Chains A and B, each alone.
Chain A
Amino acid sequence: MAKYKTYDKGDALPEDYKKALLNLMAFQADSEYAGGQRVAENMQYAPRPEEAYRLSKKVMEEFGHAYYVWSLMAELGVNVDARLRELVEHPDNPDPKKVNVINGFRRENWSPMFHDWADVGLFSTVVTPAAVAFLGQYRECSYLPWARVNVRIHKEEHGHLAFGVWASKRCIEFGGEAMRADMQSRVPKFMRMGLGFYGRPSTGDKKSQMFDIYYEYGIKVRKPEELQAEYMELVEARLKEVGLEMPRDVQPDYDMRVGYAMDNPVAAE
């Protein structure tokens, strides 16, 4: 039984709860769309037809996830068409006053991480598990329509893990041991982003001011430490499948986060 009050479609939402909920929904929806735009940019690196089509498929999925969540936000009175318009008209630099895109999905942070198709495969192998763990928690959140949509999204995000393993294995298949060694050396740069994805620890001096509020409302249902443990398990299994080793002592890059530390997000109105 849930330890927090749940709300379904049409229920009256307390004002503070609604504000907190919409902040996180906006982060998810806006970032899913921006993520689709960034994935589309990486089509330039696709070395073969199948790689190009499979990446195109991923673009469509990311846009679809944004639409699911925006659709729910519209029901709560948010002008989501304006958010889509902002992202379409300013894909390189959307106004942070109008949309909530995670730092990692902003073009200036994203583009320098990618140089070729091996980076594309590694991103889905090493960073996507963080998204799977992070967004997975919303399946159990207190706002039931959003929880249901995230069941749908989570299933597809798992498909992205399979894409990463497939793409990375193909790189090694074609590039041999030299490619394997090259890819192994790149794993830490992606792990830094993956580890920082869900934010700073839930305790201590540097804890997020917002985390306790989200957690108390049952909008976030898992602590960063729990998500990190799930992430490490997922990424280690994927790296093993590809034939790569899990590096140790990689430090998180919290600046790329989507997580708990977004203390001053843009209000979704």
Chain B
Amino acid sequence: MSRGVAAAAPRFPDPLVEERHGILARYGYRLDRGGLERDWPGMWKLLQGDFATRGRPWVTGFEQLSPRQQEAARVYMRRRLVADELLDACKQAHADLHQSGIAPELVERYAIARDAYEDAVMEFGRAREQLDTLLPKDGG
């Protein structure tokens, strides 16, 4: 998996908010951007913790998943990638408000960008639930 973080990534105007969003990089935000071939196993390593439960404390690697589970895992990871892209758009709209001033047109642009990001996050959650139903309840 490419570990290069894309250059010219949009940034929050607030250093504090930007820093705290750094946690998303732990799960692969801004890694592997734009490549034609996805490193699904590498990405899965960063995200599989989302599926650990008391009954399933250890979650298997991507290669050990069944074809059906792998497909659901890819959907889940694609949802995350979409969310990341929309997060960038949202950050850009936010930065532009700071740069250009608070005007109705820019406020509505931000509203559209964040609505899309919020929908994407909820889709990401739904994809997690879908995959969760396909994983064994008691480990593996």
Contacts and interface: CB of A to CB of B under 8 A. Distances in A.
Contacts of B124: 50, 53
- Chain B interface, DSSP helix/strand/loop, else mixed: helix
Contacts of A67: 97, 102, 107, 110-111
Q: How large is the interface on B (under 10, 10 to 19, 20 to 34, 35 or more residues)?
A: 35 or more
Interface string A181-202: 0000000000000000000000
Contact of B17 (A37, A53, A174): A37
Contact of A44 (B20, B47, B122): B20
Interface in A197-211: none
B137 interface: no
B83 interface: yes
A84 interface: yes
Interface stretch (A57-65, A126-134, A227-235, A243-251): A57-65
Given A61-B114, A61-B118, A56 B16 contact: no
Interface in A117-170: none
Given A64-B111, A174-B54, A59 B17 contact: yes
A63 B102 CA distance: 12
A50 B128 contact: yes
Contact of B121 (A54, A70, A87, A176): A54
B49 A49 contact: yes
A81 interface: yes
B110 A57 contact: no
Contact of A88 (B98, B104, B110): B98
Contacts of B8: none
Contacts of A44: 20, 23
B41 interface: no
Interface residues of A, number: 37
Contact of A60 (B14, B80, B114): B114
Nearest to B79: A53
A42 B20 CA distance: 8
B110 A48 contact: no
A56 B121 contact: yes
Contacts of A70: 102, 107
A195 to B, nearest CB: 29
B74 interface: no
A141 to B, nearest CB: 20
A52 interface: yes
A49 B128 CA distance: 10
Contact of B13 (A80, A88, A176): A88
Given A60-B118, A91-B16, A176 B102 contact: no
B83 to A, nearest CB: 6
Q: Which 7 A-B pairs have the closest CB atoms?
A: A49-B27, A60-B114, A40-B17, A43-B20, A40-B20, A67-B107, A57-B121
21 contacts: A37-B17, A49-B47, A49-B80, A50-B124, A52-B24, A53-B83, A54-B125, A56-B87, A57-B118, A57-B122, A60-B94, A60-B114, A63-B94, A63-B110, A71-B102, A84-B98, A85-B98, A88-B13, A88-B14, A88-B98, A176-B54
